[in-house]
A and B are shown apart, each in its own frame.
Chain A
Amino acid sequence: MNIIVCVKRVPDITEAAGVVKIEESHKQIDKKNLVFKINEWDEFAVEEAVRLKEKSGGRVVAITVGPQEWDDVARKALAMGADEAIRIDEDVESADCYVVANILAKAIQQQSYDLIMFGAQSEDFGSAQLGPMVAESLGIPHATLIKHIELQNGGLKVSREIEEGMLELHTLSLPALLTIQTGINNPRYVSFVNIKRARDKQLSVLDIQSLSLAKEELTPKAMLERFDPPDVGKKAEVLSGSIEEVVDSLVGILKDAGVL
């Protein structure tokens, strides 16, 4: 089974790591003290792809679109077990999903594949558009938020996570595209030794010109105007009284807020 996994490089923004600051232009974040890593959803996707390959044979190719710093994310995929990685050399930070989808679709068309996997969304922009856009561009079926994959009779049986943890069961014929939900597996830890070993695996850098994309395909349809941090709320209400009274007040507040 030949699998393509698309991966993105994102800043690590877990709480402990520090607060993200917005640049003067209000169009970018201040990258100075940030540490970058593979997008969490993509890590689950790579792990799932490698496990499928380990079970039923085939190849896993990891693809990413970005400048040279993005090599580290491609190498992470290799270290996790991908057989080959391709980085399309283009800084798409100010592009939208339409442009990135066009680039990826073109690059994917140059490969042979049975299955394409994306993370369900990215940690930074979280649009969740890329996977479905690429599937439509390639004219193949897709399913999003996948929690479980089973190969059967030249097709797939998948579970899709919807609200309240419920799962929808779908069957798809191959080739198909899946976007992967977190928690589908436990991504492996890549030891220092295995990171070094991955250096011997193939990482090709593709010139964007070689994809022969039309100007229209590289022109974003959506432009980021600006972003700002949310207003910090100044209201804090301290509930008082006995435990029972406090609980009643709290339940009332939560009900009013539509949470309960």
Chain B
Amino acid sequence: MALQEYESIIYRCFRCGYCKLPSDYGDYNCPIYARFRLETCFPGGILWLMRAWWKNEIRWTDRLAKILFSCTTCSNCVEECVMSFKTDILNMITAGKSDMVEMGSVPAKVKGFLENITRYGNPYGESREKRDMWLEGTDIEQYKGQEYLYYVGCVGSYDTRAKEVTKSLGKLLLKSGLDFGVLGKEENCDGNEVRGLGEESLFEAMADDNIKQFRDSGVKKIVTLSPHSYNAMHKYYSQPDGDFEVLHYTQVVKSLIYDKKLDVTKGLTAKVTYHDPCFLGRWNTEYEAPREILGAIPGIELVEMERNKSNAFCCGGGGGNFYIDSFGSSEYVPARIRVREALSTGADILAVACPICLTMLDDAVKVEGIEDRLKVMDISEIVASVCLQEG
């Protein structure tokens, strides 16, 4: 069992509850706990359940699996745990998922997610033929050795709302003169959520295939749309064989603005609040690049939510949950909690830098009925509205 590796640590969690909270204890910051408010539904509780299951004190049940797979891998627990083994908290939860995956006993939607990736190269089960449909109406070219590979990912390729961002970022990069191309139909899933779901071997196989494809195509630099792709490639593709320079698009766009390759002088008058994506923020400590972009646009007033940067509250889409939907319907669904928090800052725009956050929060704004007061926009869309002449 994967949990075996953590034998010496797993007993030591005594459910202090720090993992439920942000650093100022202002609110509940674990998305599962905020939604369900049960003591089984936060990292401490989950670790106790995992330990009991591993030691055969409790049996596997559908409910146990559902609790476990509702973990969005947001890493708040790793951030806030005060014990010496904090860096392993999430690894232990993922090890539990791994053991259930090995058994084959996972919730039906998790099975669907993983099988769709194996069959179609994306979790939606959409045809490969549709993967490059977002390219229509753009002059973006196929990757054939350009300086950068613009890696889109599954959500950006197939999700209706996210595709608008994929396009706007592509157009921005074209405008800036950046030399780049896309893989289109040839692109495969980055595997980040597969890893987060505990299917480690599948993730490694996917990473190997992607690394080979990138190498064979001569890829040296990758700019990703999604922080999830960024995380997978930056953290896990590099060792030992993939020697690519991986950047999230906000890091590239920031430089393009500073180097005057993108002209933002037209400005935009708006009050904007920025939602730190878990995989850019807590996972990879990139809090500044997106803020610098917003700061460089004249007229934008940046207001921070109470829970920002390393305290950001997860949108609830990670760990495959943008598809698996562990949180169901409720006013306490994490995305709805987050948009209410954004609204309370008085902002007109809730800025995001991740296609999963985008779809989760965009849907939440609609469900909350606040579309006329708060607009969810990707940072690339904000910059595009300033830099590009539409029409």
Contacts and interface: CB of A to CB of B under 8 A. Distances in A.
Q: Are A and B subunits of one complex?
A: yes
Interface of A: 12, 14, 16-18, 33, 35, 37, 80, 186-194, 196
A188 B105 contact: yes
B103 interface: yes
Contacts of B201: 191-193, 196
A80 B105 CA distance: 12
Contact of A193 (B62, B102, B119): B102
Interface string B77-120: 00000000000000000000000011111101011001100011
A80 B114 CA distance: 15
Among all A-B residue pairs, the 6 with the closest Cβ atoms:
A188-B104, A18-B127, A192-B202, A189-B111, A192-B201, A16-B125
Contact of A189 (B62, B114, B125, B128): B114
Nearest to A50: B104
B348 interface: no
B129 interface: yes
A188 B104 CA distance: 5
Q: With a 10 A CB-CB cut-off, give which of B102, B104, B201 has the most chain A CB atoms.
A: B104
Nearest to A188: B104
B129 A189 contact: no
B6 to A, nearest CB: 19
A16 B103 CA distance: 28
A189 B199 CA distance: 11
Contact of A17 (B62, B106, B120, B199): B120
B119 A12 contact: yes
Nearest to B105: A188
Contacts of A191: 101-102, 104, 199, 201-202
B243 interface: no
Given A35-B119, A189-B111, A192-B202, A14 B125 contact: yes
Contacts of A37: 119
Contacts of A14: 125
Interface residues of B, number: 25
A192 B205 contact: yes
Q: With a 10 A CB-CB cut-off, give which of A18, A33, A80, A191 has the most chain B CB atoms.
A: A191
B124 interface: yes
A189 B104 CA distance: 4
A18 B111 CA distance: 20
B175 interface: no
Contacts of B202: 191-192
27 contacts: A12-B125, A14-B125, A16-B124, A16-B125, A17-B120, A17-B125, A17-B127, A18-B130, A33-B127, A35-B119, A80-B104, A186-B105, A186-B108, A187-B111, A188-B103, A188-B105, A189-B101, A189-B105, A189-B111, A189-B114, A189-B115, A191-B101, A191-B199, A192-B199, A192-B201, A193-B201, A194-B102
Contact of B104 (A16, A18, A190): A190
B356 to A, nearest CB: 18
A196 B108 CA distance: 22
A3 B115 CA distance: 26
Interface of B: 62, 101-106, 108, 110-111, 114-115, 119-120, 124-130, 199, 201-202, 205
Given A35-B119, A80-B104, A189-B115, 20 more contacts: A12-B119, A12-B125, A16-B125, A17-B125, A18-B127, A33-B129, A37-B119, A186-B105, A187-B111, A188-B103, A189-B105, A189-B111, A189-B114, A191-B101, A191-B104, A191-B202, A192-B201, A192-B202, A194-B102, A196-B201
B110 A189 contact: yes
B126 A17 contact: yes
B105 A16 contact: no
Contact of B120 (A35, A186, A188, A192): A35
A228 to B, nearest CB: 22
A25 to B, nearest CB: 22
A190 to B, nearest CB: 6
Nearest to A18: B127
A17 B115 CA distance: 13
A196 B199 CA distance: 14
A37 B110 CA distance: 18
A99 B101 CA distance: 39
B280 to A, nearest CB: 28
Contacts of A196: 201
Given A18-B127, A33-B129, A194 B119 contact: no
Contacts of A194: 102, 104
Contacts of B111: 187, 189
Contacts of B130: 18
B115 A18 contact: no
A16 B122 CA distance: 11
A16 to B, nearest CB: 5
A225 to B, nearest CB: 29
A194 B101 CA distance: 10
Contacts of B110: 189
Given A35-B120, A191-B101, A193-B102, A16 B126 contact: yes
Nearest to A19: B127
B349 to A, nearest CB: 32
A161 B314 CA distance: 44
A194 B200 CA distance: 12
A160 B196 CA distance: 40
